[in-house]
Amino acid sequence: MKTLEMTGKATARIIEADAPTPEHGEVLIQTARSAICGSEMKTYRGAGLAGGNGGHEAVGNVIELGDGVTGLALSQRVGVSAVFGCGQCAECARGRYTWCKSATSRSRMHAEQFVIHARCCSPLPDDLPWEPATLLTGDGLGVPWHTAKKIDRADIETIVVMGLGPIGLGNVLLQAHLGRRVIGVDIVDYRVDFARQLGADVSIKADDTLIDRLMDLTDGDGADVVIDCAGQRASVANSFLAVRRGGTVVFNGESNEELLAPSRDFNRREIWAVGCWYYFMSEVPEMIQLWRDGLNVTRMITHRFPLAEAPAAFELFDRGSTGKVLLRP
Ligand SMILES: [Zn+2]
Ligand SMILES: [Zn+2]
């Protein structure tokens, strides 16, 4: 089969590889679509991944069942969760794989075939096309939906989304769909414009006047919620400056730097801060219902490439001038 190999330092190539074999409890999937995620870029720009890639958002057909697999049939259409738990603890029983103490993850899905644990597969309704399914069963919409459930209070009206990569754009689309007034912020013109198309009331390019402009847009008080989707020193600092007294900052962006000071950032203005990672397997039916209720997730997709052109797709994505990018074997 053909697979994408991330060869490191922002290069990639298509190689021939043996199809993986499903072990006990696993299935082999024939990939229908895979999506590029911003979280893959660290691997792509850095050391790469010998023989494979960071792809972890995909849909396809089950074509081989490993020993002990029940509840899935050959040729069944499924979306997959890349994160999976032990399958035995209380969190796994509730579909919260990310909270399992032995949670781990799978990648290498930018390939004609990939292997995944059967309990990571969500069967797809017949009337759900591949493209929306790729977003609805993976972290493309999963992170925005998981985030939305943490900020579902009726008194939240204005939300600033700091950073308009695919996760930020997903938050814009979903929060606008849910009736919030959304203000998007990024440093790339393309993304600022695209956020408006996805429902942002206002979308602005970050510069030295950002906080002044956000205060003007929120009657001088700040936003009820700021979702940081960039994980940068500046975006984290700006998130706390842009939130109102008693408001909430949600972290979607990844950062391992020590950036926060409790007195300055939390105590004096009584700010709430919420961490948010990936989504729960149990939330997939809720996301499919959002699509049934009219959430047009396909609007997040701006580019489609055959798998053979995946290296060019990654180059384009890396420049920041795309929404969600889909690959098709
Ligand atoms: Zn992802
Ligand atoms: Zn578990």
**90 falls in which pLDDT band (50, 70, 90)?**
very high
Which residues does 165 contact at the CB level (< 8 Å), separation at least 6? Answer: 38, 186, 191, 229, 230, 320
80: enclosing H helix or E strand: strand 77-80
pLDDT tens profile 169-191: 999 999 999 999 999 999 999 99
Instruction: Give the percent of the chain with pLDDT over 70.
Output: 100
Instruction: Give residue 190 CA to ligand 2 midpoint distance, Å.
Output: 41
Q: What is the mean pLDDT of residues 46-72?
A: 97
Q: Is residue 255's pLDDT more than 90?
A: no
Give the up-direction half-sphere exposure of residue 163: CA atoms within 13 A in the CB hemisphere: 24
**5 falls in which pLDDT band (50, 70, 90)?**
very high
Q: What is the mean pLDDT of residues 273-278?
A: 96
Task: Look at residues 178, 43, 188 and name the one whose alpha carbon lies nearest to residue 107.
Answer: 43
Q: Is residue 241's pLDDT more than 90?
A: yes
| Residues pairing with 114 in the sheet | 29
Q: Which CATH class is domain 2-138+279-328?
A: alpha beta
Q: What is the β-pairing status of strands 83-84 and 77-80? A: unpaired
Instruction: Give residue 269 CA to ligand 1 midpoint distance, Å.
Output: 33
Residue at token pair 């989504």: 279
CA angle 242, 172, 150 (to 5 degrees): 70
Instruction: Give residue 282 CA to ligand 2 midpoint distance, Å.
Output: 14
Cβ pair 37, 107 in contact under 8 A: no
Q: What is the mean pLDDT of residues 102-123?
A: 97
Which residues does 316 contact at the CB level (< 8 Å), separation at least 6? Answer: 303, 322, 325
Instruction: Give residue 298 CA to ligand 1 midpoint distance, Å.
Output: 16
In whole angstroms, give the CA distance from residue 114 to residue 207.
Answer: 43
Instruction: Give residue 130 CA to ligand 2 midpoint distance, Å.
Output: 29
Q: What is the mean pLDDT of residues 40-62?
A: 97
**258 falls in which pLDDT band (50, 70, 90)?**
confident
In whole angstroms, give the CA distance from residue 78 to residue 125.
Answer: 9
Instruction: Give residue 136 CA to ligand 1 midpoint distance, Å.
Output: 12
142-275 CATH, one of 3.30.70.580, 3.30.300.10, 3.40.50.720, 3.20.20.140: 3.40.50.720
Cβ pair 80, 29 in contact under 8 A: yes
Range(s) for CATH 3.90.180.10 in the chain?
2-138+279-328
pLDDT value of position 256: 87
Which residues lie at CB < 5 A from ion ligand 1?
37, 39, 139
Give me 302's structure tokens.
């701006």
Which residues lie at CB < 5 A from ion ligand 2?
85-86, 89, 92, 100
Instruction: Give residue 101 CA to ligand 2 midpoint distance, Å.
Output: 6
Q: What is the mean pLDDT of residues 133-142?
A: 97
Task: Look at residues 17, 4, 290 and name the one whose alpha carbon lies nearest to residue 146.
Answer: 290
Range(s) for CATH 3.40.50.720 in the chain?
142-275
Instruction: Give residue 14 CA to ligand 1 midpoint distance, Å.
Output: 21
Q: Is residue 257's pLDDT more than 90?
A: no
Rg of the Cα atoms in the chain: 20
Q: What is the mean pLDDT of residues 64-69?
A: 98
**82 falls in which pLDDT band (50, 70, 90)?**
very high
Instruction: Give residue 81 CA to ligand 2 midpoint distance, Å.
Output: 14
Using a cut of 0.95, tell me whether the model's pTM lies above it: yes
| Residues pairing with 133 in the sheet | none
Q: Which ligand is nearest to the CA of 57?
A: 1
Q: Which ligand is nearest to the CA of 93?
A: 2
Q: Is residue 279's pLDDT more than 90?
A: yes
pLDDT value of position 113: 98
Q: Which ligand is nearest to the CA of 99?
A: 2
Q: What is the mean pLDDT of residues 291-305?
A: 98
pLDDT tens profile 178-231: 999 999 999 999 999 999 999 999 999 999 999 999 999 999 999 999 999 999
Instruction: Give residue 37 CA to ligand 1 midpoint distance, Å.
Output: 4
- DSSP secondary structure string for all residues of 189-229: HHHHHHHHHTT-SEEEE-STTHHHHHHHHTTTT-EEEEEE-
Instruction: Give the percent of the chain with pLDDT over 90.
Output: 98
Q: Is residue 153's pLDDT more than 90?
A: yes
Instruction: Give residue 156 CA to ligand 2 midpoint distance, Å.
Output: 34
Q: Which ligand is nearest to the CA of 107?
A: 1
E strand spans, 219-307 = 223-228, 243-251, 272-275, 301-306
Instruction: Give residue 313 CA to ligand 1 midpoint distance, Å.
Output: 16
Q: Is residue 259's pLDDT more than 90?
A: no
Q: Which ligand is nearest to the CA of 90?
A: 2
Q: Which ligand is nearest to the CA of 103?
A: 2
**295 falls in which pLDDT band (50, 70, 90)?**
very high
